Amino acid sequence: MGVIHDNLSRRKFLSSAFMTLGLSFGLGTLFIRFGQFLTPEKKEKRIGEVLIGNFTDIPDGAATPLEISGNKILVVRSKDRITAFSRICTDLGCLVSWDAAREQFICPCHQGVYDKNGKNIAGPPPRPLDRFEILAKGENVYIRV
Ligand code: FES
């Protein structure tokens, strides 16, 4: 009788030990994840200048589509002025295109219209197109993304 009782006690002890260990591990992991949720790691915003070409390489009156680091961009040159806009429509995110004859950005999804300065002038877009900074260094033109 005594031997059977010892086996049951050992079994209960091991079972309780494994359950306690598993529970401690689970709660510890949950506690660490909750701490990470409360204090998220700050990611630095990476800003860089990317050479997009020589000033004369950019066609006058036209829009040049570019994709830099996942950003879809339209670079528009109007005589001696170069501007760059995000192609993402501020309504629901369709890609806008440049209408050279009207000098406007047109969104094909819901007929959103932006003027040549990226300002929303017709249709549902709630705000202007996002802009990218253009830097001229000599004849070279850079875009900051
Ligand atoms: S997504 Fe461009 S107007 Fe709706």
Per residue of the chain (145 residues), give pLDDT as tens: 455 556 668 888 888 999 999 999 999 999 998 888 888 777 766 678 999 888 888 888 889 999 998 899 999 988 888 999 999 999 999 999 999 999 999 999 999 999 999 999 999 999 999 999 999 888 899 999 8
Pocket test for ligand 1, best of 85, 88, 90, 92 (most atoms within 8 A of CB): 92
pLDDT of the residue at 56: 85
- For the CA atoms of the chain, what is the radius of gyration? 30
pLDDT of the residue at 108: 96
pLDDT of the residue at 6: 63
pLDDT of the residue at 11: 83
pLDDT of the residue at 85: 96
Does ligand 1 come within 6 angstroms of the Cβ of 109?
Answer: yes
What's the one-letter identity of residue 100? Answer: A
For 105, the enclosing helix (H) or strand (E) is strand 104-107
pLDDT of the residue at 80: 84
Does ligand 1 come within 6 angstroms of the Cβ of 88?
Answer: no
State the Cα–Cα distance between residues 95 and 49, nearest whole angstrom.
23
